Amino acid sequence: MRGRDLINNGLPDELILEIFQRLDSKPTRDACSLVCKRWLNLERFSRTTLRIGASFSPDTIVTLLSRRFLHITSIHVDERLSLSLPPPPPPLKRKRASKTSSSSSSSSASSSKRRKLSNKTRSGGAENAESCSLTDAGVIALANGFPLIENLSLIWCPNVSSFGLRSLAQICTSLRSLDLQGCFVGDQGLSAVGKFCKHLEELNLRFCEGLTDVGVIDLVLGCAKSLKSIGVAASAKVTDLSLEAVGSHCKLLEVLFLDSECIHDKGVVAVVKGCRRLKSLKLQCVNVTDAAFSVVGDFCVSLEILALYSFQQFTDKGMKSIGKGCKNLKDLTLSDCYFVSCDGLEAIAHGCKELTRIEINGCHNIGTRGLEAVGKSCARLIELYLLYCQRIGNSALYQIGKGCKSLETLHLVDCAGIGDAAMCSIAKGCRNLKKLHIRRCYEADNLHILFSMVGNKGVIAIGKNCKLLTELSLRFCDKVGDAALVAVGKGCSFLQQLNVSGCHLIGDVGITAIAKGCPQLTHLDISVLQKVGDASLSELGDGCPMLKDLVLSHCHYVTDNGLNHLVNKCKLLETSHMVYCPGITSAGVATVVSSCSHIKKVLIEKWKVSERTMRRAGSILSYLCMDL
């Protein structure tokens, strides 16, 4: 009936709380809390996670949040996340009545305070950086306000010291996950965590420069029965001694990440021999050699994830040991491992048939033969990333297409030997492909002129055969033209993201085909396309109402007219990059800001922003070459 609140009268608190707990989107939860006072109070009880960025006074914010939310179990403080304040509103001009004058004075004072807060928050001085950083006082307030917290991240909080960490550990004894990345905490704080937090399972100490073996060993001894994951990076005073303690006491350890020049074979071997449940091993240790990986192959029978970065003493010998012993390996990353060749990759492929993800980045000695072995032996492969692999040719992807029918993701960056023939093989064999990213797959001719190996033929084959494609990126593939996008538009109706930046042969015909055939498109990058004009934007407005992100920088034939038609239809638009578009003026910028209620970021030249637009939407505007 009209005028009756059927929801609040009919639903008990328990049912509404259950509904709130099933809402994944923070904006949706925030919107629900504004419906009425009852929903506001119930939403307070249902929320379990808080995320806090760099703000004017994080210590004060933590105190205020602890009063509002009573059942928080996870808090993430990341000072890399900035807080942008909206610009202050213009002062009121009416001054006729005393009441109005009083209101105007109050509003003006409030505006002044807000302006000062905004200026102070946005200034880049050392004083502001200090005030925007969580301190020990904030950590203690956090501990007192949320004593039952289980997961805590304090990322790049340089003012948090051992004193704050020790106070936190004494109160929050239920901690299970602690991330201290970039915090300058010392051994005393870490020792306190080991003494009081007996349920700790996950610990991240990356870039904690104040630590030594003393603190790490104390923590390991205290949390030995529960610790399952450890990450250490750029800690010059953490050595093999810490890893020996881990190997001796942490029998439940499953995840280990190490990035250090102070770690040698001795430390890695100690962990491998002592932690038989190890499932994930990620290393960037220049002093670790094949000798350590021979032990990995012998003892890590449960290993599922292996990532090796910038190894200078790791060769095919170590790869063969892993292939022989780690039969359950599912995820392999090799980055800048210059001494690994096709023989090593063949050994992995033949021995690790459960592989579902492979990433090869900058391993210049791995070529076609190694990847062919993957295609023949790893039938369960789902994701393949090949970056800067100059020696891998078309026949390698022919074998992938033939043997890896479950492939869903393929990324190719600077792979000069891969062209249309490879794409045709992938298209015919991997019908479940969902994500295809190709960037700068160039080859040089006799005159050292670079030209793309991937053109219309390969992309047309993808469009005809890969009906489930949701992401397609063809950045700077200068042989791809309208015919390719016509095929994609006809065949890939589920496409959500398209990036054709730098594909200068593409014009209005190709973009129009995408607009008509891909109604679920949410992200589009058509920057540096000199043949695209207002006709494309008009068709996109009509055919892609779900568009959220649009990049059209350096499109010289796009004007305010096309932009106006698009934003009038694409009401969900959140970001728009349109620098170096001579046809777009201040009127076009104002149209985007006023027509799109969800807009969060507009990248534009500063001189194209009018004073009115600045007042209305200054917080979402970003500028190129601000000082020019």
Residue with the two structure tokens 């073996």: 213
Looking at the predicted structure, is the pLDDT value of residue 458 above 50?
Answer: yes
224 and 247 housed in the same domain: yes
In a domain, 202, yes or no: yes
* Cβ count within 10 A of residue 225: 12
Per-residue pLDDT reduced to its tens digit, 515-532: 999 999 999 999 999 999
* Cβ count within 10 A of residue 491: 18
Query: Could you tell me the residue range of the domain that residue 224 belongs to?
Result: 51-80+133-288
Are 210 and 181 spatial neighbours (Cβ–Cβ below 8 Å)? no
Q: How far is CA 570 from CA 434, 525, 573, in A?
A: 25, 15, 6
Out of 238, 271, 288, pick the residue that ends a domain: 288
Q: What is the CA radius of gyration of the chain?
A: 28
pLDDT at 628: 36
260 and 149 housed in the same domain: yes
pLDDT at 2: 58
In a domain, 58, yes or no: yes
Closest C-alpha to 419, from 441, 439, 446: 441
42 and 72 housed in the same domain: no
Out of 288, 313, 336, pick the residue that ends a domain: 288
In a domain, 200, yes or no: yes
* Cβ count within 10 A of residue 261: 11
Residue with the two structure tokens 């490879």: 422
User: What is the signed CA dihedral for 412, 413, 415, 418, rounded to 10 degrees?
Assistant: 30
Per-residue pLDDT reduced to its tens digit, 324-357: 999 999 999 999 999 999 999 999 999 999 999 9
In a domain, 387, yes or no: no
34 and 75 housed in the same domain: no
226 and 243 housed in the same domain: yes
pTM over 0.85: yes
pLDDT at 27: 77
Looking at the predicted structure, is the pLDDT value of residue 117 above 50?
Answer: no
Q: What is the mean pLDDT of the segment spanning 94-121? A: 46
In a domain, 220, yes or no: yes
CATH of the domain at 244: 3.80.10.10
Residue with the two structure tokens 């610990």: 203
Q: How far is CA 527 from CA 98, 213, 357, 533, 580, in A?
A: 55, 51, 31, 12, 10
Are 212 and 188 spatial neighbours (Cβ–Cβ below 8 Å)? no
64 and 40 housed in the same domain: no
In a domain, 167, yes or no: yes
Please give the Cα distance from 550 to 545 (Å, whole number).
12
Residue with the two structure tokens 């993701």: 409
Per-residue pLDDT reduced to its tens digit, 383-432: 999 999 999 999 999 999 999 999 999 999 999 889 999 999 999 999 99
Looking at the predicted structure, is the pLDDT value of residue 97 above 50?
Answer: no
In a domain, 363, yes or no: no
* Cβ count within 10 A of residue 305: 17
Half-sphere exposure of 487 (CA within 13 A, CB side): 18
Are 258 and 232 spatial neighbours (Cβ–Cβ below 8 Å)? yes
**Strands 549-551 vs 575-577: parallel, antiparallel or unpaired:** parallel
CATH of the domain at 31: 1.20.1280
Per-residue pLDDT reduced to its tens digit, 542-572: 999 999 999 999 999 999 999 999 999 999 9
37 and 140 housed in the same domain: no
Instruction: Provide the β-strand partners of residue 77.
Output: 52, 154
176 and 37 housed in the same domain: no
DSSP letters, 610-622, are -HHHHHHHGGGEE
Q: Work out how many domains the chain is built from and give that number.
A: 2
21 and 71 housed in the same domain: no
Per-residue pLDDT reduced to its tens digit, 153-211: 999 888 899 999 999 999 999 999 999 999 989 999 999 999 999 999 999 999 998 89
**Tokens describing residue 573:** 């638009």
Out of 288, 319, 352, pick the residue that ends a domain: 288
**Strands 497-499 vs 471-475: parallel, antiparallel or unpaired:** parallel
In a domain, 419, yes or no: no
pLDDT at 54: 62
172 and 212 housed in the same domain: yes
Are 273 and 280 spatial neighbours (Cβ–Cβ below 8 Å)? no
Instruction: Provide the β-strand partners of residue 462.
Output: none
247 and 147 housed in the same domain: yes
pLDDT at 273: 96
Per-residue pLDDT reduced to its tens digit, 420-438: 999 999 999 999 999 999 9
40 and 138 housed in the same domain: no
Please give the Cα distance from 428 to 424 (Å, whole number).
6
* Cβ count within 10 A of residue 371: 27
